[in-house]
Amino acid sequence: MAWLQAFVAILFFGISIFAQSQYQTVFERPKHLGIFHHPIRRVAVVGAGPAGLQAAAKLIEHNFTVRLFERAPHPGGNWLYSEETPVRESYPDKPAGLSIDEIPARLPAKLYHNEGDDGLTLDHRWTEHWRPRPVWYNLFTNSPKVSTELPDVPYNPETPWVLSHHTIQRHVRSYASHHCLNSNDHCPTTPSAARVASYSTRVVKVEKDEETHTWVLTLRRLERLRESNRILEEWWTETFDAVVITSGTYAAAHVPEIEGIVDWSKVKEGGRYSMYHSQSYRHPEPYVGKTVLIVGASISASEIARDISPFAHRIIVSVRPPQVRRGSRQRSLSRFPNITEFVPEIASFEPLESRTDGIHNGKIHLMNGSILQGIDEIILATGYQSYSLYPPDSTRRRPENTSWTGHYVPDPTLAYTIGRPWTMGRYQSYGFARVWQGTARLPPPEWIDDGSEGPDRGTGSYFLDMWLGEALFRRYITWLNAASLEHGGRFIGPPPIENLELLKYYTMVHLLNDTMRPEGIGLESVTMLSGQLRDGDPWDALTDEGSDW
């Protein structure tokens, strides 16, 4: 019977060779797409805001092994409201980036901290780690719900166009749970949450290992051990074939460089600092009877002014002529409450004679030579700084040479998302998945010119322009669909055309009709750069997210 066994063995061997060769012809990655050193399988997503959650969900759908890291204890990104406030901003300003570079020499590592160790409270360590968001209790969106919505978990049709952040927070969490990415989800049928999402985990460093062609992420996770009243700090590294950076725009508060600001920043009254950044604003009630100076006249400034106006005694706003033209700031100027008194930019804070009784008697010198006095509190609504985790010295949210698709051109295994409008997220993540899967070719960079024109259009405004130019956005979709036609994969359609109409309508009503009228509010000199509204302005107002797009 040995011959029969031999025959069967040879037959099986033959079949398996045949099957393997068939498998290879059918499933081998097309050679001309092989721009990567090895197939991309493990992907890290940094940040669980609206962009990161969509990226993680799409990549999982495409069978990548995904890890989602989020420094906060829960998903939501910017929309994870909390009464906790961030660690106080530094005076003078410090470049954004990591304040803790004390990566232990040997990893993995475990450290325990008690209250007061190294002069730090446990609360300080905790909030420094996760950085509570700059969202206040009564905040509403300045974008309509059609562009502030995630797929799969639509809002109730009754939900108003302008959303409270409380509604958004639930919406984003629903989306996270729908994809089994929430902090306490456990889903037996999908990869368990413990394997995909790692909360309270900050990505401290992103490095490329040039030998293995992989990305090495250095991670730090904090856990509050309530029973022993300690914090456990764990450090380790994980390795990936590709990384999506969805860490948002507002990495750190920006403190303006004004003479004397450091001296004034030390003043406290009733245990509360007299000067602070808008990132720690939460509730209007404590402003009852106060004279408040708000520095800056952009969105945080106008919206906080509106919130406190029923309580405050006086609201004074220091505004400077804009360096660049932004629709959003134009809109803000006409949203200040009618009690607002506008003053010019601050030249200096005169040294205080005593720091014991607040800043009431302190003198603030304005650019036009006048002196301002009698202020109880100063809110710096002066915006944010950003940086990207890679390359390490980048001070832009999306580094130079990021393609319009979000891929980092020098190494397209790294990609950056945009955060706004949220509705772009799903398309962009689909593009990452297709390129890394090998079923879409990276379009050449010159395929789309960056749309730069005029002083306020820097490089990297591609996505902004995609909304400005519907045609460009459609081209993005055409690119993906052409790839599907060639290599297989699902066809995708653009968002419903009525969304665009709704967006336009909202823009008209909120930005053009109600506002953008500098006449009569005494700000003719500071509103317009050229006195004329341009087509792009209302769109800027909806999509604007800092100067580094």
Ligand X SMILES: NC(=O)c1ccc[n+]([C@@H]2O[C@H](COP(=O)([O-])OP(=O)(O)OC[C@H]3O[C@@H](n4cnc5c(N)ncnc54)[C@H](OP(=O)(O)O)[C@@H]3O)[C@@H](O)[C@H]2O)c1
Ligand Y SMILES: Cc1cc2nc3c(=O)[nH]c(=O)nc-3n(C[C@H](O)[C@H](O)[C@H](O)COP(=O)(O)OP(=O)(O)OC[C@H]3O[C@@H](n4cnc5c(N)ncnc54)[C@H](O)[C@@H]3O)c2cc1C
Which residues of the chain form contacts with ligand NAG (CB under 6 A)? 62-63, 338, 343-344, 366, 368-370, 400-401, 410, 508-509, 513
Is position 328 an interface residue for ligand X (rule: CB under 6 A)? Answer: yes
DSSP assignment of 79-141: G---S--PPPPPSS---SS-S-----SSSSEEEEEETTGGG--HHHHHHHHH---S--TT-B-
Is position 323 an interface residue for ligand X (rule: CB under 6 A)? Answer: yes
* Alpha-carbon dihedral 221, 224, 225, 227, rounded to 10 degrees: -170
**141/452 with CB nearer ligand X:** 141
Can you tell me which of 33, 40, 45, 51 binds ligand Y, judged by CB under 6 A?
51
* Alpha-carbon dihedral 148, 150, 156, 160, rounded to 10 degrees: 0
Please give the single-letter amino acid code of residue 144. P
Give how far Cα 139 sits from Cα of 115, 136, 305, 455, 512, Å.
33, 5, 12, 32, 22
Is position 72 an interface residue for ligand Y (rule: CB under 6 A)? Answer: yes
Which partner from the list ligand X, ligand Y, ligand NAG, none does 343 bind, CB cut-off 5 to 8 Å by kind? ligand NAG
Is position 525 an interface residue for ligand X (rule: CB under 6 A)? Answer: no
What sections of 399-469 are H helices per DSSP?
425-437, 462-468
How far apart, in whole angstroms, are the C-alpha atoms of residue 402 and residue 529? 29
Is position 386 an interface residue for ligand X (rule: CB under 6 A)? Answer: no
Quick one: 520 exposed, middle or buried, by C-beta within 10 A (0-12, 13-18, 19+)?
Answer: exposed
* Interacting span for ligand X (CB under 6 A) from 3-11, 12-20, 183-191, 380-388: 380-388
Query: What residues numbered 157-186 form the site for ligand Y, per CB under 6 A?
Result: none
Is position 241 an interface residue for ligand X (rule: CB under 6 A)? Answer: no
CA terminus-to-terminus distance, the chain = 74
**139/275 with CB nearer ligand X:** 139
Q: How far is the CB of 398 from ligand NAG (least distance, A)?
A: 12
Query: What residues numbered 113-152 form the site for ligand Y, per CB under 6 A?
Result: 134-135, 141-143, 148
Residue matched to tokens 């232990």: 104
Q: How far is the CB of 420 from ligand Y (least distance, A)?
A: 4
Q: How far is the CB of 421 from ligand Y (least distance, A)?
A: 6
**400/450 with CB nearer ligand NAG:** 400
Is position 50 an interface residue for ligand Y (rule: CB under 6 A)? Answer: yes
Output the six-digit token pair for 12.
């099986």
Which partner from the list ligand NAG, ligand X, ligand Y, none does 508 bind, CB cut-off 5 to 8 Å by kind? ligand NAG
Q: How far is the CB of 192 from ligand X (least distance, A)?
A: 35
Give how far Cα 517 sits from Cα of 342, 392, 511, Å.
16, 43, 10
> 307: part of which helix (H) or strand (E)?
helix 299-308
Total residues interacting with ligand Y, rule: CB under 6 A: 32
Q: How far is the CB of 513 from ligand X (least distance, A)?
A: 18
Asked whether 382 and 299 are in contact (CB, 8 A), the reply is no
- Going by their DSSP bridges, the two strands 291-295 and 414-416 should be labelled as unpaired
How far apart, in whole angstroms, are the C-alpha atoms of residue 54 and residue 430? 9
Q: How far is the CB of 162 from ligand Y (least distance, A)?
A: 8
Is position 138 an interface residue for ligand X (rule: CB under 6 A)? Answer: no
Is position 86 an interface residue for ligand Y (rule: CB under 6 A)? Answer: no
Query: What residues numbered 244-273 form the site for ligand X, per CB under 6 A?
Result: 256, 258
Please give the single-letter amino acid code of residue 3. W
Which partner from the list ligand X, ligand NAG, ligand Y, none does 387 bind, CB cut-off 5 to 8 Å by kind? none
Which partner from the list ligand NAG, ligand Y, ligand X, none does 77 bind, CB cut-off 5 to 8 Å by kind? ligand Y
- Give yes or no for a cis peptide into 421 (omega within 30° of 0): yes
Asked whether 402 and 230 are in contact (CB, 8 A), the reply is no
Residues at the site binding ligand Y, with contacts judged by CB under 6 A: 46-52, 69-72, 77-79, 134-135, 141-143, 148, 202-203, 246-250, 389, 417, 419-421
Residues at the site binding ligand X, with contacts judged by CB under 6 A: 139-142, 256, 258, 278, 295-301, 303, 318-320, 322-323, 328-329, 345, 381-383, 544-545
